[in-house]
Amino acid sequence: MTLPWFHTVGEWAVVLFLRSPALVLMYSATNDSLVMPSYPLEPTSAIYFKYIQIVLAILMLTQTALPLAGAMVVGTWIYLWRWGWMVVADAIPVVTVGVVYLTSPWQSHRMSITELSEQQVKWVRLVLGFGFLALGWLKIYNYHLTAGVADNYPAVMDDPMIHFFAMGTNPAFRRENWIVAFALAEVLSGFMVMMGVFTRVWGSLMLWVFIKLMIVNFGWDEIPHIYPIAATAAIVFSNKLRTEFSFVEKIQQKAAREGRPFLRVATVAFASVTIAVLAVFTLLYAFTFIDRSHF
């Protein structure tokens, strides 16, 4: 995309991506929480973590010592393991900006960073996509939590994208269908972004959904949605996107040059079925045997 407006929006998306975490950290510090408002701090150590978050936010806003800021972001994510693996999975999108910070120069305060390198875009795509893939499966695994969201915010069940995934299901189980549909929408979106398949299409859908959730449905309590919104915008408006299935594209191009349409159809069909079985149906079937009565 060589359009001037596309390039300008892409630069603003990168700037938002690099600095928006500071807003979340400051909001969390003023609400006695760690990184996200849903992770309250212990009163005995709250003051220390609040000041650390403020210092980290200043580093981000001034673009100073970004590798140090990245190490602190990743370190905070590792610290979340004390609350269990589900909390860590929920915070994976936070690591996305940490990866970019770690791969930035130490002299970042002297530079105007408005573009990500091809390697940085790849890491952002992989981490962000995997994060949503994990969050989708987590919604099915801990379905009681997802059901609670639907009960407290029934408007979220009216999302047209989720209706697409719930098409043909029994209306009597509207909430239950929404849980699985919402989860699999995240699984599919995350997988597509992670693998670099129709990245801009799925990224645009994710932008629309998460902006709507933050502004319309949940409000400032879900300010951490700025993380995936900014990261997704940086990906959507990047001209350095690549796919992890380039070998399939090469087979397709070769078959097209040789005039072998059957091979092209067979390649796509085989790849699609294999991916669906490995990435969706295997885990979905396995989850039916997991005991989650303790939630």
Contact criterion met (CB below 8 Å) for 101 and 67: yes
In this structure, are 262 and 224 located in the same domain?
no
Q: pLDDT at position 221, please?
A: 67
Quick one: which of 197, 34, 58, 206 has its CA closest to 126? 197
Q: Angle at CA 167, nearest 5°, toward 164 and 169?
A: 145
Residue 291: how many CB atoms within 10 A of its CB? 6
Quick one: which of 151, 197, 180 has its CA closest to 284? 180
Tens-binned pLDDT, residue by residue, of the chain (295 aa): 788 899 899 899 999 999 888 888 888 888 778 777 667 777 787 888 888 888 888 998 888 889 999 998 888 888 888 777 887 887 888 888 889 999 998 888 888 888 888 899 999 999 999 988 888 888 888 877 778 877 777 777 777 777 777 788 888 888 888 888 888 888 888 888 988 888 898 888 888 888 877 787 777 667 777 888 889 999 999 988 888 888 887 888 888 888 888 888 888 888 888 888 887 888 878 877 777 666 6
Side chain identity at residue 60, one-letter code: M
Contact criterion met (CB below 8 Å) for 188 and 211: no
Domain count, the chain: 2
Q: pLDDT at position 233, please?
A: 92
Whose structure tokens read 């892409």?
Answer: 10
In this structure, are 36 and 155 located in the same domain?
yes
What is the domain extent for residue 192?
Answer: 4-244
In this structure, are 181 and 268 located in the same domain?
no
Produce one character per residue of 178-204: b if its CB has 16 or more CB atoms within 10 Å, e if not: bbbbbbbbbbbbbbbbbbbbebeebbe
In this structure, are 183 and 276 located in the same domain?
no
Quick one: which of 235, 162, 248 has its CA closest to 194? 235
Domain boundary among 201, 222, 244: 244
In this structure, are 184 and 40 located in the same domain?
yes
Q: pLDDT at position 278, please?
A: 80
> What is the rounded distance in angstroms from the CA atom of residue 75 to the CA atom of residue 35?
12
Q: pLDDT at position 235, please?
A: 92
In this structure, are 285 and 240 located in the same domain?
no
Contact criterion met (CB below 8 Å) for 271 and 251: no
Token code pair at residue 207? 């932008």
In this structure, are 21 and 100 located in the same domain?
yes
In this structure, are 292 and 226 located in the same domain?
no
Quick one: which of 196, 172, 171, 169 has its CA closest to 184? 169
Contact criterion met (CB below 8 Å) for 213 and 158: no
Q: pLDDT at position 295, please?
A: 60
DSSP 65: S
Side chain identity at residue 142, one-letter code: N
In this structure, are 149 and 33 located in the same domain?
yes
Rg (CA), the chain: 20
Q: pLDDT at position 294, please?
A: 65
3-state DSSP percent of the chain in helix, strand and coil, to 5:
80, 0, 20
